[in-house]
Each structure stands twice: as structure tokens, then as C-alpha cells.
Amino acid sequence: MRLRDKVIIITGSTTGIGKAIAVRCVAEGARVLIHGLEEDWGKSVIKELGKDKARLHIEDISQEGAPGRLVDLAVQSFGKLDAVVNNAAIVSSSNIHTTDKAFLQRILEVNIIAPFELIKAALPHLEKQRGCILNIGSVNAWSGEPNLFAYSISKGALMTMTRNLGDTLHRENMVRVNQINPGWVLTETEMQRKKEHGLAENWYEDLPSVYAPAGRILWPSEIAAAAVYWLADESGPISGQVVDLEQHPFIGRNPPKDPSTIKISK
């Protein structure tokens, strides 16, 4: 098992990519702290993983003191902390015309400030274990999408933080910091978002090749498989790296101005 006896906090893990990472981590021998906003979904994840392998914390990660409470629960439950996965994020459509100061601040609070605060809260424990941090970004960090303006800004900031801390924390604290940037992933929330945009129930079964040359988009389990490498000791001393997980070069593509206008057969 590649993560035997490791203790890992995974934010935003009651569903989607975070849940897939948690499931894979436990399968690789880790114990995990599940976090999110959906208590029913969280309890379902705990039942699937087992109470001896997982604990649940339901709270908005941007609330004052929430990062510290996550760290405290992990250490109290399992005796140590080896890794943090910053996965929780708000994915909300916006452009420069629909984004106001309050909306942008809310996106930044959850998507970049909360990960920063969790890293600070976890650092003393991670230093003891020579542990690691894995930030879950997005290919949107590089160039964004017309209708994911605020979200893309936040992921660009996360990528810069990863590069910076990947150098400084590795030198000062022997804590590695890396990031993976998923492309288009078929999560439960993504399926719902596209249906709300007016697409058919099975929209993901027939996608234009510009978005999915392989004929499909990524699965959460494929992102989880990549995450294990960065959480495991086998990634060695590597730090400050950002890896795109997408099936085509993102920059240089010419998608329509609004992704919700994709023509998909019903």
C-alpha cells in the first residue's frame, strides 16, 4: 500500500474529486478526514470507508477558525497529520460584467485564502512528519474561460502559492507542496451544472472533439490516481510542481464564448 498509515485531510471530500481521492487514499492504506458542507453525503462516505478509517467534519472552510478545527480533529482522531489536500472550491459562473467585489471576495475566501490558512494551521504537524501538501487547481489557472472569470483568477492565485511555498516550505520545513490541475472532470456537480445550462441528461456521452479528443472527459477516479503519487513517499523530494491533467493542450483552443452553448445531441 502506497499510503500505509498516513493521515490525510481532504477538503471538499463529500463528493466529486475530493471523495474519489479519499476513497483511493483509504484503499492505499491511509486514514482520512472527510470535510464538506453536505452532512448526508459525508455520512455516506464515512459508512463506505469505515469509521476506523475516516472522520467527518462539516463546516464552511472559510469560517473563522475552521482550518484549525480540521487539523485538531485529524490529530485528535489519528494521532498525527501527514498530508493536506486542498480540494474544496466554489465553481461558479461569472464574467467581468457579472462579477462584483463581494462575489470575487467570496470566491477568493474559499478557493485561495482558506487553503492558505489550512496550510498554516497544519504546518507544525506536517513538519514533524516531513509531510506534504497537494493543492487541487484547474487548467483554468492558465487562461480561464469567458464564463469562469472569478474562479479562474482564484486558481491562478493557488498555482502561484504552490510554486512559492513549494520552494520556501521545502527548504525551511521539509514539507513538499505540489499541485495538480484537472481539466474537465465528470463529477456529480458538473453533471448538474450542465443540466442547469439546459443540456440533456446524457450530455457527456457525445462531446465535440475540441473538448474531448478521446470521446469522453476525465473521471474523478483518474484524478485520484494521480493524487496518490504526490501524497506518497515515492514522489521523493519533488516540490513546487504544477501538473496539468488534461487530454489536450488547454491554451490555444478556441471554445465558444459561453460553454453552455455547446451543441450536444439529445
Q: Which residues are catalytic?
A: 151
Burial of 39 (0-12, 13-18, 19+ CB in 10 A): exposed
Beta bridge partners of 83: 8, 132
Beta bridge partners of 134: 85, 178
Q: Say which amino acid occupies 130.
A: R
In angstroms, the CA 6 to CA 231 distance is: 9
In angstroms, the CA 157 to CA 134 distance is: 15
Helices (H), the chain: 16-27, 39-49, 66-78, 101-108, 114-129, 140-143, 149-173, 188-196, 220-231
How many angstroms separate the first and last alpha carbons of the chain?
A: 43
Kindly report the number of other CB atoms within 10 A of residue 76's CB atom: 9
In angstroms, the CA 75 to CA 82 distance is: 10
User: What nine digits make up the cell of 189?
Assistant: 456537480
Q: Say which amino acid occupies 70.
A: L
